[in-house]
Amino acid sequence: MSEPNQPFVPAAPPAGTAPPAPVWPASAPAAPPPPGWMPPPLPDSSPAAPFPPPPGGAWQPPSGPGLPSTAGPLPSGAEAYAPNPWQPPSVPPRRRLGWLNWVAAGLVIALLVGGGLLWYRSTAGPSGTLPGASTAPTGSARPSASPSQDVLTTGGQLGVERPLRAETGQARVTATKATWGDAGTMPPQAGMTYLVVELTVAGRQGTVPIGAVFTVAVTADKHRYGIAYGPPATPLLPSRDLGPGEAATGQLGFQLPRGPVTIEFLDADGVAMGSVAIPAR
């Protein structure tokens, strides 16, 4: 007896003998198919004879019953594999305008511009303003239907020769006339009036600067006013260096409140050379 709990080991065959071959259960041999038997055809297909290649020609895909035809459109999904050589998009040629077209365009533009000018001239007033446009002056200027004029030849230092002294020379100035009024190229501003002074300057020694840029009007409250271009100062006193023996005559215009005023003459550095007192009316 073998020891308990030991694995079973089959006995080895006697030395020099082969192991026995396995024995399978016997089965009947398969019977051959009957004469003329053929396997059933595949769905949607039928047997076809072989297609030998044509003698001396290139191979062509077979055709016959049960085979797809190579003519007609490609089956669905095959379009992506069909040859489709790319062709650049055709661009229509650009038409160029001939010289006749340019001439016609120029004539049309000229007619439009000429018609606009004729319409403007036919609708504009005598002063070039369109109907309904306001021609009243803007700003704080007050209109004057009948401008007043006060011409003074006496009073203050009118008609009195006054000295002008500068580091570069000396001269004498005389205010021969002063005009207070509203007449001018435009009405004066509200609360203001025009003063036009007529002056004669004679050189005595060296040179003395004269003219509008070297003259200011000083009111009683010490406000200073430069020349204005609204009053009719004609002829204007020239701006120049006056030498000995030379004389100059002209007018200067100012816009300022009505009242006594002093005309002050300055040198090139802005230093006062002299003055003339002008009365108010």
Q: Name 248's bridge partners.
A: 201
Q: How many domains does the chain have?
A: 1
- Please give the pLDDT value at position 131: 43
Residue 37: per-residue pLDDT: 77
Alpha-carbon distances, residue 222 vs 188, 209, 214, 219, 262 (angstroms): 21, 23, 17, 5, 10
pLDDT in tens, 22-41: 655 555 566 777 887 777 77
- Across the range 228-251, mean pLDDT stands at 93
Rounded to an integer, what distance in angstroms lies between the CA atom of residue 239 and that of residue 267?
12
Nearest CA to 264 among 206, 193, 213, 190?
213
Residue 196 to residue 177: CA distance in whole angstroms: 8
Backbone angles phi, psi at 152, to 5 degrees: -115, 135
Q: Would you say residue 91 lies in a domain?
A: no
Query: 52 vs 271, which has greater pLDDT?
Result: 271
Place of tokens 């002209």: 250
Residue 227 neighbours by CB under 8 Å, 6+ apart: 212, 215, 233, 252, 253, 254
Q: How far is CA 101 from the centre of its chain?
A: 30
Q: What is the CATH number of the domain that holds 268?
A: 2.60.40.1240
pLDDT at 83: 58
Domain-embedded: residue 6: no
Amino acid occupying residue 70 = T
Percent of residues, the chain, with pLDDT higher than 90: 42
Has residue 10 been placed in a domain?
no
Strand partners, 205: 170
Give domain status of residue 40, yes or no: no
**Other beta carbons less than 10 A from residue 72's beta carbon:** 7
pLDDT band at 108 (very low <50, low <70, confident <90, very high): confident
| Residue % of the chain over a pLDDT of 70 | 56
How many residues are present in the chain? 281
3-class DSSP state of 264: strand
- Residue 196 located in a structural domain: yes
In terms of pLDDT, which residue wins out, 278 or 55? 278
Q: CA 149: distance to chain centroid? A: 52
Mean pLDDT throughout 64-82?
A: 55
At 216 the pLDDT is: 95
| Residue 87 domain-assigned (yes or no) | no
Cα distance between residue 60 and residue 257, in whole Å: 119
Confidence band of 192 (pLDDT split at 50, 70, 90):
very high
SS3 98: coil
Q: What single-letter amino acid sits at 46?
A: S
The three-state secondary structure class of 128 is coil
Dihedral of the alpha carbons of 126, 132, 135, 136, in degrees to the nearest 10: 150
Q: 163 in a domain, yes or no?
A: yes
CA separation for the pair 261, 272 (Å, rounded): 15
pLDDT, greater one: 124 or 17: 17
Residue 114 lies in a domain: no
CA 85 – CA 171 distance, rounded (Å)? 103
Q: HEC profile for 51-84?
A: CCCCCCCCCCCCCCCCCCCCCCCCCCCCHHHCCC
Has residue 209 got a pLDDT over 70? yes
User: CA geometry: angle at 163 spanning 157 and 169, to 5°?
Assistant: 155
- Which pLDDT tens digit goes with each residue over 120-161? 555 554 444 444 444 433 333 344 445 678 999 999 999 999
What mean pLDDT is reported for the chain?
76
Residue 171's DSSP bridge partners are 164, 203
- Longest CA span, the chain: 176
Domain residues for 224? 149-278
pLDDT at 126: 45
Q: Both tokens of residue 142?
A: 């007050």
